Structure 1
C-alpha cells in the first residue's frame, strides 16, 4: 500500500501524513525540507538556485520511491515525484527562473527516472486557497518561508488544479481543507480519516 499526499506549500501535507502513518501504522516518508541545503538560498534568490533546488528534490524523491518499492509494509508519502516536475519545475521555468537549457536537462533526467517509478495506489490532494496557505505558512514560522511571494503560491495553485484535473495514474481523493482545521478540530480530523478509510478499504476489495 502506497498512499501519497499532494498539495501546495502550507496545505497540511506533513501533518496529515503523520496522522495517517499513526492511524494505519504506515511508514512515513516526509519531504526533505529541514536538511535541504538549497531551500533558504532559493527563496532569497530564485533565478540562481531554482535548478539546483529542483534537482535536489528530484533525486531525494526518487530515492524515496525506491525505498517504497523495496518496502513490504504500507507507506504514506509527503508529496510525489510528479509534483516536482509538473508543478514546481514547470512553474519555475514558466516564471523565467530556470533557463531553457537547464529545464530541458531536468526533463530528460525526470524521463529517465520515471521509467522506474510506480504511481501511488491512492493520491490524496489537499485543496487550499491562498488565504489558508498563507495562514498555515505563518503559523509554522519557518524563517525562510517568510520570503514566499503570494504570486508564487497562486501560480503553484494553478499548476496543481491543471495537474489534478488531468490525473489518471491511479485512485484520487480530493479534500477541500479551506474551512478545516484537522489539527485542533477533532470532527475535521475524523471526517478526513473516514474519507481516507473508505478509499483505503476500497483498494483491498
Structure 2
C-alpha cells in the first residue's frame, strides 16, 4: 500500500492501547491532520464510570453526535486534497453501545445510528491495535487520568472481546492488526519503522504485525 495515496487513515483499539499517540505520530510523519476523540468534552463520561447503568445512554448519544461532527470535514473534502489520521472510526460507537446499553436503550440507539452511519466515509486504511487487558490496565494507570481509575479488568476483557469480534468480521477497509504488547510505537523509531514497512507491504484486505515480526 502506498501511504501517499491514503487520504484517510484510522487507528482503533481498546482504551489504553495507544491510539491517540500513534495517530499523532502518523499525522506528523505524513503531514496529515489529526482527528482526535474528545472524551473530556463529554459531560456524562465521568458519571458513566461511576454508574454505568444510569449514564450509559446519554454518554453514548453525546459521543455519537460528537464523532459525527468531527468526521464531517472528511466528507466535505470531495477532491481529496486534505489528509487525515483519526484515532477512531464511527463503528466503535455502535460497538460500545452494544457493550453498555440495555435492550430498549440499544434499540433506540441503533435506529439513530442506522440513520447517521451512511453519512460517514470509510477510511483508506484501518490500523487495529491490540493488547491484553492486564497490559491495558498498566497503561491506563501510568497515564493517571482520574476518572479512568474505576475501569475494571472485567470491563476491559469484555471490551477486548468485543473489538476482536468486530474486527474478525470487519470488511469496510484494508485492515492492519497490530499486537502492541512489545512494540513501542510512541517513541521507538525502529518499531515505528516496522509498522510503516508493514503498511507499505500490505496487499489485499488484511495483514498482521505480531510481536517478534
Query: Common fold, TM-score beyond 0.5?
Result: yes
- Tell me which residue corresponds to 1:112: 115
For 1:183 and 1:65, the matched residues in 2 are separated by 24
State the distance in 2 between where 1:182 and 1:116 align.
32
In structure 1, stretches of 5+ residues that fail to align are 93-97, 201-205
User: Is residue 89 of structure 1 aligned with residue 97 of structure 2?
Assistant: yes
Gaps of 5+ in 2: 1-6, 204-213
1:43 alignment counterpart = 49
- Moved beyond 6 Å, runs of 4+: none
- 1:24 paired to 2:30: yes
**1:40 CA displacement:** 0.9
Question: What do you get for the CA RMSD once the two structures are aligned?
Answer: 1.7
SS at match of 2:126: strand
Q: Which residue of 2 aligns with 1:164?
A: 167
Q: Distance in 2 between matches of 1:137 and 1:196?
A: 27
| CA offsets 1:20-74 (integer angstroms, 9 cap, x no match) | 0000011100011122211111101101110111111111111122121113311
2:12/2:88 contact within 8 Å kept: yes
- Name the TM-score, length of structure 1 as normaliser: 0.90
Please report the TM-score for the alignment, with normalisation by the length of structure 2.
0.87
> What pairs with 1:1-205 in structure 2 (closer than 5 Å)?
1-71=7-77, 72-85=81-94, 87-92=95-100, 98-199=101-202
Identify if the C-alpha distance between structure 1 residues 197 and 35 changes in structure 2 by more than 3 Å, giving closer, same or farther. Answer: farther
Give the Å deviation of 1:167: 0.7
Deviation track 1:140-193 (CA, whole Å, cap 9, x = no partner) reads 110000100111110011111111111111111111101112224322222123
